[in-house]
Amino acid sequence: MSHQDHPTHTQNTFEVIVIGSGFAGLAAAIECKMNGGNVIVLEKMKAIGGNSIISDGGIAAPDTEEQHVLGIIDSSELMFEDMMRSGEGLNDPKITRLVCEHALDAYTWSKDVLNVKYMSRVDIFGGHQVPRCYSPDPLSGSTMILKMKRKCDELGIEIRLSTYVKSFIKDDSDRVIGIEIIENYSLNQSNAVISTKRYASKGIIIATGGFAADKQFLKKIIKEDFLTTNKKSTSAEVIEASMKINAATKHLDQIQWMPWTTEDEIGYGKGGLFGDYIVSSYGILVDCKSGKRFVNELGNRKHVTDAIRMTKDVIGIVDETSVIKTGWKLEDAINKGIIQVHPSLDHLASHYSIPNESLKRTITDYNSNITHKNIDPFGKVYETWMSPIETPPFYTMRIRPKTHYSLGGLVTDIDTHVLDIHGNIIKGLFAVGEVTALTHGANRLGSCSVTECLVMGRIAGRKVVEY
């Protein structure tokens, strides 16, 4: 941190600087520019998008036209209840409610302003009471990021790559007026580099994402070796720089794991999609040691992750009927050995050394419960579109959770101002998206991250111009 008067070199001064080019950062930049702000986006890496571009890009929103057509009754209040229940009291209800109340507008904005196209389906993920999740077409975070980049180009917003933020600059009134940066940065940089300064006359918006791949930062929190769905560039240096100017943080020990991934590939990958979109809704999780189920597959991510990590040797199972129903193409993951195909349950049990009779009894009981609408022993709610697991071939995948999302971060108010350790606004500093602490609490529900990024990013883009 350094203190100095406002700069006189206007070529290094902008009205607004956005740090990070994921969903939240680009939403903030676009909204800022559309409200008359002179804005530049700085990105640490050599390409835009961060973790947003490798996500599945799904967004959650209530009371949509798609839900109306399907007869799904939903509301912002119901979504708020789901997020608060999932958050276990650690989220700020004012911020969570704000995200839910503006979720429909954010979803509509992504279609009308960004021109994002979505699949003709409404999905449900663990912890949601009703289907309210929408998948971009094609299914990738890059779908929205590329649309956002096109909008930035149309609006004349510069995105400057390979720019690493070292620290914040304050003036004598304690207002954040700029940043110290390293230009031409690369992740594996070992040479000494020269830093320079950039200034913002209205404000700086931090949208750097989380730190779920930062092993150095997390070593006191996660004592074991872990795999992650995140890019290796997902780190905490801007949060640490913020802490040096007395920015408040909360819940840094709250890390969400993605329960539906596998150790047989790097990152989230094809297996993550198979687990998240097919196994969770249409299949079962089985303990290979016992051949038994052990959890509600549609429980929230924290609940499912904790159960898998305790059980350890776990596979997900679905049948041919379920795969056909979902419409997903599995050939690539099958060819890579991520998903296994079995002509019979005997073959499946033999492949994983699962007690054969126990496995068959587990599936028989599960099928009977679905058919007769019995109460599930683990609390899974059987929906009308679920079917028994009985049609060969059977598809399986080894399941191993990976760190996915950092739930804690910087403390902000509902207008996205960053607060200091005394609860006061740090003038000139805003933060949005995963870098913040209070939206999701102890657990983030699927597809709610994109919703948060668009809602809070757009709020920051407007507020920084007003500031």
Q: What are 234-262's pLDDT values in tens digits? A: 999 999 999 999 999 999 999 999 999 99
Question: 314: Cβ–Cβ under 8 A, 6 or more apart, which residues?
Answer: 285, 286, 287, 288, 308, 398, 399, 400
Angle, to 10 degrees, between the axis of helix 103-112 and the axis of helix 76-87? Answer: 110
Give the dihedral of Cα atoms 401, 88, 366, 327; nearest 10 deg.
-60
Distance CA 316, CA 331 (A): 17
| Of residues 346, 353, 334, 336, the one with CA closest to residue 396 | 334
| Of residues 349, 347, 367, 365, the one with CA closest to residue 357 | 349
Distance CA 31, CA 14 (A): 16
pLDDT beneath 50, residues of the chain: 1-2, 5, 8-9
Distance CA 467, CA 460 (A): 10
Q: Specify the pLDDT at position 12.
A: 83
Beta strand residue intervals within 323-401, DSSP E: 340-342, 394-399
Which domains are present in the chain? Answer: 2-254+404-466 (3.50.50.60), 260-400 (3.90.700.10)
Q: Specify the pLDDT at position 7.
A: 53
Token pair 């975070």 in the structure block, residue: 141
Q: Specify the pLDDT at position 383.
A: 85
Asked if 439 contacts 451 with a C-beta cutoff of 8 angstroms, the reply is no
Phi, psi of 230, rounded to the nearest 5 degrees? -85, 160
Q: Specify the pLDDT at position 10.
A: 57
Instruction: Report the SS3 class of residue 134.
Output: strand
Question: 191: Cβ–Cβ under 8 A, 6 or more apart, which residues?
Answer: none
Both tokens of residue 446?
A: 């699927």
Token pair 């007769």 in the structure block, residue: 372
Both tokens of residue 228?
A: 């992650």
Distance CA 137, CA 124 (A): 17
Distance CA 461, CA 28 (A): 4
Beta strand residue intervals within 31-104, DSSP E: 39-42, 59-60
Asked if 248 contacts 264 with a C-beta cutoff of 8 angstroms, the reply is no
| Of residues 380, 386, 396, the one with CA closest to residue 321 | 386
Beta strand residue intervals within 28-163, DSSP E: 39-42, 59-60, 133-134, 158-160
Neighbours of 330 (CB within 10 A): 19
